[in-house]
Structure 1
Amino acid sequence: MQKNVIQHGDARNLLAGVQEASVALSFWSPPYFVGKEYERDATYESWQELLKSVIAGHGRALKPGGFMVINIADILCFEDPNIPRFQSMNIARQRSPITRDMVLDAKAAHPNFNRNQLAELLGCSEQTIDRRLNGNNIRGGKYATQTKVKLVGGNLEKYAEEVGLYLYDKRVWVKDAAWANSKWVSNSLKAVSETEDIYVFWKPGETVIDRSKIPQKEWKEWANRQVWYIDSVRKNDDHEAKFPLELASRVIRLYSSEGDLVLDPFMGSGTTAVAALNWGRDFLGFEKERKYVELAERNIKSFLAEPRLAL
């Protein structure tokens, strides 16, 4: 398979054409199953099958001692119709001073009153009576399917171990708080999303550790640190889910050496390819969306027309 070229197609199929034990590092960020345009037809089961199949292809593609690094986040709004409804009373947003006890006292005094009559008596709306009696402060609305947090790391570990890859390390990328994607949490006790996980899997074999390839100052600042503070991409106008060049650069510098082959089976806008070329590596890139193949090719061409990046 030709190096430094974006291959158009499904990574599950293209991985079979990668020369065995030729990839020193695979760095990728798969679909997150959060409703992006390019995953519109996916189910949770088909998404898991995609991850499992792509990871399986790395069992033969990676060199012994090589690494597979996956950037992914847990699903913070995983729909589950079987979980109880989340009920909460946000006192700061409560527009009526009427309490449940006040409604119960009114019902005791007027047992034949319906909700409308109770509302008129207490000077509030019928909806307030209903909420106080039935606890209908349901997150997302009375008829909404409730959501929960779904952890994904355990599945990745399981799929990797099935093909002889083992979790070597885990880092955390702290990015900008995702206010635009997390408005539903702004009035609850749930946190706003501002981290993603970086899972580092190792294929058994000798791994060369060469600390001279990264300046000592950077070892102290980030290479030895579990938590990486890197700003998010400022604009996602040409691709919905770009990760920053600095993130790809750190992974490539840390887990590969000059002249190595770096794989990204979900190439997207081409960030991994640009980082690999910038730091003296070759790349293999797969992308199933034709428009993103063309986007990545433009970004790589633009990089090649300029001097090496000052990172």
Structure 2
Amino acid sequence: MKFLEVNKIHQGRSEILMKQIEPESVALSFWSPPYFVGKEYEKDETFDSWQAMLRQVIHHHSKALKPGGFLVINIGDIRCFKDESIPRFQAMNISMQKSKITREMVLEAKAQFPEFSRYQLAEHLGCSEQTIDRRLNGNNIRGGKYEIQTRVNLVGGPLQTYGQECGLYLYDHRIWVKDPAWANCKWTSNSLKSVDEYEDLYVFWKPGQQTIDRKKLEPQEWKDWGSRAIWFVKSVRANDDHEAKFPLELASRVIRLYTDKDDVVLDPFMGSGTTSIACIRHGRKFIGIEKEAKYVALAQENIKKEMSQLKLNI
């Protein structure tokens, strides 16, 4: 079999192309998978196919990783999926109510005119039909008035299961604290939900001896983040060329911590090429896989720019 070339981005689905990686050649696999949140590149996925894809990709690492190698998955642990079987999350946010009509006033009107519809009650009380509905039922804070409810699922558990199925073991768990997202969205202001400000790094280990060399990082780096569970790294400021990029600093930390010079790093969801750029800057080799042709071209262009800049700095 012809193995995937190193220092190259390969177009295709990881579930298929990872079979062509030279066995036990990868020291680290670092990636952030599609989150199944409605992005354009996820349009053909279902929840079941998304889970099956993650499981297959993780299973392929049992052969691709070196003994003692690591798999690091960056993912937002909380995912929301439509589920008709659970009740709607409701909230009566009194601080945001614009109408002076209260629930008690609506109930009193209903008792006085039991035959009235919501529209007739609204006309009688001088408010909107929506106000009547909200006073009686509260706000559906996930999905709006007509959408079905969403169930919150954690994905860390399934990831751990997929790893153990193929002989990879959860080794560590770190938290990437990023810039708060959606701080001003109605979903947050209408509920007690916290602002989204962190993602998870799940670290899996393939049994085998690993090398720990404190000289890879400066003493202050070990103190600040090398031995810390919480990493503070600012988010990418503009996702203008790709919908979901993680910062270069995040990839650099993972690569420097879990690999040595000239090691091979795999990213089966390469996107815009951030992992490859981090590898180039820190003297590592890379294998990239990306199913979208436009992102393969984008990653290749970013690599070309990085190599040109590197030559200028030498």
Counterpart Cα distance in 1 of 2:166 and 2:116: 67
State the 1:121 CA deviation.
Answer: 5.2
Residues 37-48 of structure 1: matches in 2 within 5 Å? 37-48=40-51
Q: Hey, what's the Cα distance between the residues in 2 that align with 1:176 and 1:116?
A: 43
- The C-alpha deviation readout for 1:239-275, integer Å capped at 9, x for no partner, is 1111111000000000000111111111111111111
In structure 2, the gaps of 5 or more residues are none
**Residues paired across the two proteins, number:** 309
Of the candidates 36, 43, 55, which is equivalent to residue 33 of structure 1? 36
Question: RMSD between aligned alpha carbons?
Answer: 2.2
Unaligned runs of 5+ in 1: none
State the secondary structure of the residue aligned to 1:97: coil
The structural deviation recorded for 1:307 is 2.8
The 1:262/1:113 distance shift into structure 2, 3 A limit, reads: closer
Q: Kindly provide the CA deviation profile for residues 135-163 of structure 1, in whole angstroms up to 9, marking residues without a partner as x.
A: 15223433211123221111110001000
* 1:250 corresponds to which of 248, 253, 263: 253
TM-score using structure 2 length: 0.91
1:21 is matched with which residue?
24
1:18-70 Cα shifts (integer Å, max 9, x gaps): 11111110111110001111111110001011100000100011011100000
* Cα separation, partners in 2 of 1:100 and 1:50, compared to 1, 3 Å: same
Question: Aligned with 1:175: secondary structure?
Answer: strand
- Give the TM-score normalised by structure 1: 0.92
- Name 2:91's counterpart in structure 1: 88
Comparing 70-79 with 200-209, which one deviates more in the overlay?
A: 70-79
Matches within 5 A, 1:123-272: 123-133=126-136, 135-139=137-141, 140-179=143-182, 182-272=185-275
**Deviation of residue 122 (structure 1)?**
4.2
Provide the rounded CA distance (Å) in 1 between the counterparts of 2:98 and 2:130: 12
Q: Is the 8 A contact 1:182 1:193 kept in 2?
A: no
Aligned to 1:284: 287
User: What amino acid is the match of 1:146?
Assistant: Q
* Cα deviation 1:208-228 (Å, max 9, x = unaligned): 111111110000111111111
Matched, 1:306 2:294: no
SS of alignment partner, residue 175 of structure 2:
strand
Contact residue 92 and residue 135 of structure 2 kept, 8 A: no
Contact 2:248/2:275, CA 8 A, preserved across alignment? yes
